[in-house]
Structure 1
Amino acid sequence: MSDKRAETSVRIHEIIASRWSPRLLDGEAEVSGEKLRALLEAARWAPSYGNTQPARYVVGQRGDGTYKRVLDSLTESNRAWAHRAGALLLACALTSNDKGTVPYAEYGVGLATENLVLQAVAEGLVARQMAGFDREAARKAFDLPSGVEPLVVIAVGVPAKPDAPGEDGEVERENAPRRRVPLSEFAFKEWGSAAF
């Protein structure tokens, strides 16, 4: 794969600049339990509203039944590449607890998952988040209780080598430049008036 570091207007931390979401993964590479534990520990220490800690993860490693059930819940287009991941995680939001509704639960899962993804980079791994899965199938497959909402699946793995073969435009898509809106269209002093 080509160098996918972000082209930024100012220097940012290398872990953030190096983070990207590949689909072309090494289907033989393993994600160790130790590394998975580090990812989940990073997620566990994310901030949350009132320290409600709403993020929960169902964790599957390639070859186990949990992995297969998560994989089976994915859309066909995501299954086509995600089967090469070393681990598949189902991120869920705990939307209620014994105190009632958990405010901003989805936001809390987003914060936790970004910690997880950045820790993956620090561990020499990559992680791609997917909304393309059947939530009801996942709910049924894992017997998720009321008050637990499946939000996203995260594929964790090792990027394939640059000369790895791909299918149906995978290599071209992986090598395409990354794009973001410019900072002038992202941060404002007044709406439409660039902050920088």
Structure 2
Amino acid sequence: MADITPLLADRWSPHAFDATHVISDEQVELLLEAARWAPSAMNRQPWSFVVGVRDSDTFARLRTAVSGYSDWALDASTLVLGAYENAGTDPDYALYDLGQAVAHMSVQAEALGLHVRQFATFDHAGAAREFGIAAPWRPIIMAAIGLPAPGQKPEGALHERGCSGLSASVAG
């Protein structure tokens, strides 16, 4: 059996980011373009992102939603807030679709030599107010993007095994 691509096998989420790393506008555009190419149910693309690059006004506004919840993310080069649009149907695949968009963004980051750590511990209501996000839209996830802080490296047996121990089978 072939190994999975190193873009996936070598991906990991840092616990701290390099506060001196500067992300380029081109890299940010590539991350968003990768998310745009993610598949979605009925091609709705029910996601939207607020992107703040360190030292920008948007980053400072995102920072207020992160502070006190996930302070480790505050040194990232970029903070991204992901929101989804609820279709009001059952089932509504918007959360799944947002997840795919963020996954595409994460793989693109890896291809650029960057790392992403997703998190949900932030002030959701505060972020919604700050950026005027109202129903049917809802902020649900944030991602810190940048380079790992010096000394950071993948930890633990899960990374060494490459998986959580779950197995899959292929019927044929």
TM exceeds 0.5? yes
Matched residue, 1:186: 167
> For structure 2, which runs of at least 5 residues remain unmatched after alignment?
none
Give the 3-state SS of the residue equivalent to 2:70 in structure 1: helix
Matched residue, 2:136: 147
Larger Rg belongs to: 1
State the AA in 2 paired with 1:24: A
State the AA in 1 paired with 2:83: C
Matched residue, 2:57: 65
Select the residue among 148, 152, 159 that pairs with 1:159.
148
CA contact (8 A) 1:46 1:111 kept: yes
TM-score by length of 2: 0.88
CA contact (8 A) 2:66 2:74 kept: no
Cα distance in 2 between the residues matched to 1:78 and 1:31:
21
Cα distance in 2 between the residues matched to 1:44 and 1:158:
23
Runs of 4+ in 1 over 6 A off after TM superposition: none
Matched residue, 1:74: 66
> For structure 1, which runs of at least 5 residues remain unmatched after alignment?
1-8, 163-170, 190-194
Cα distance in 2 between the residues matched to 1:15 and 1:39:
14
CA contact (8 A) 1:49 1:103 kept: no
Q: Does 1:47 align with 2:47?
A: no
Matched residue, 1:106: 95
Q: Percent identity?
A: 36
For residues 170-189 of structure 1, give each alpha carbon's deviation from its aligned partner in whole angstroms, at most 9, with x where no partner exists.
x6xx552251332xx43258
Select the residue among 87, 94, 116 that pairs with 2:85.
94
Please provide the CA RMSD for this pair.
2.1
